[in-house]
Structure 1
Amino acid sequence: MKIAVLGGTGLIGSQVVRLLTERGHEAAPLSPSNGVDLLTGDGLDDGLKGADVVVNLTNSPTFDDKSPDFFRTTMDAMVAAAERQGVGHAVILSIVGVDRVPGLDYYRAKVLQEDILKAGPVPWSIVRATQFFEFVPAVLSWTSDETTVRLPATPVQPLASADIAAEVATVSVGAPLNGYRNVAGPEVFTLDELGRIALEAGGDKRPVVLDPAAGMFAAVPGDALIARGDAHLATTTFREWLAARK
């Protein structure tokens, strides 16, 4: 099976390409580095020529009110090119609970991305994942200074990018779901608790102060980011992941 992976050189995309290749598929990473630009459409038809599946793992460079324009432009380009080239299955990566967080520009933009895919002519699958372990340091940096880290008590259910990549690869080679596959981590934390675990593992002595207004995740209502009963649960715990990185 030939699978075109847009964003195939990124954190998730590079792992998806490797997994698909190991399973005997022809996985082609597509990015501006090899002449495929989703924003302009340059190289897109050539990149999708002969592909059975297109997987879109690209992401907006910002999380603000510019993100809807990014997803509108890139998804319109991808869907149109996939139809022209006769691609039989389109897959994107989204976020568990994305439609339950209307207060965030980026989450509204991801809902727009999903809607464009669902309304298009190409059979589709959407993998919704919870937050990545790999992004925890960035989340902490948004609301920290030299002495303190401030975080809300937002419930999260994070997982390793390797577990997300494995799920995306599996969905990509299966029949189109014309629906969702949810994947989440094995444990639920409050964000401030997760921050304390991460800081302690890294030998960072700064205290984590509970601040309901701190950072992007302060806008998340209740347990909106927690997976519901139909989710596929990964097995790698946060502490196991931290230990493996030492």
Structure 2
Amino acid sequence: MSTAVRTARPVPSRRRLRRFVPPQHGAWAMLLLPYTVGVALVGPRWPHLPLLGAWLTGYLLSYYVFQAVKTRRPGRFADQLLAYGLVTAPLAAAVLIARPALLWYAPAYALLLAVNGWYAWRRRERALVNDLVSVVQSCLLVFVVATVAAAPLADVAPAFLALLLYLVGTVLYVKTMIRERGDAGYRRLSVGFHLLAAVLATWLHLLLTPVFLLLLARAVLLPARRLRPAQVGVIEIVCSLLVLAVVLVAL
């Protein structure tokens, strides 16, 4: 067998898959937690299923849109934009046809996505404000899920606030563990916010207090330890599951 034949191997399927899956592992908890809480609180309805599909593929679509904006090379991501666009559009259309009231959320999401787009254009997508805007987008899904079920928004407002407190705190904490490791200002901001979050969570329901005190202890103690990103991620998965369980029981 010639050298040319031996070296002409097909691209591994794993490499092809990586082209369509963003390296943003922490985003999945932020995407799924508000959806799961919302559906559990208001009860499942059939439009929740295409909503989940549109939500996840819409995130993937937005990721590659912002990559195209950041690099100024949309052609580089044409395959991803086409694939996720073709999947997201009919799923979103199905949900909107079933629940036209969801259009009321369009201006808020358009504004928040515009902020993401601006940071992508400036190549500052890791900025704190940009991360916080993404958290707000995710937490608003609790209200979207309630609207799909025609449930009063007041019924899920406490859960929205609890998740917002948790996810904002997580953004600050993760920065102290990875990108802003050793930054005393970020660490003070993270600890201060977690302290405020524990107070507000106690106001929402006493059952939330132990979990948010645990999150506060995490923000105080762990930045002094040199944990690998994978270890930080595992800890956050556990914290997400704890917050999910307690929010569903308490709220």
Tell me which structure has the larger Cα radius of gyration: 2
TM > 0.5 fold call: no
Q: TM-score if structure 1 supplies the norm length?
A: 0.32
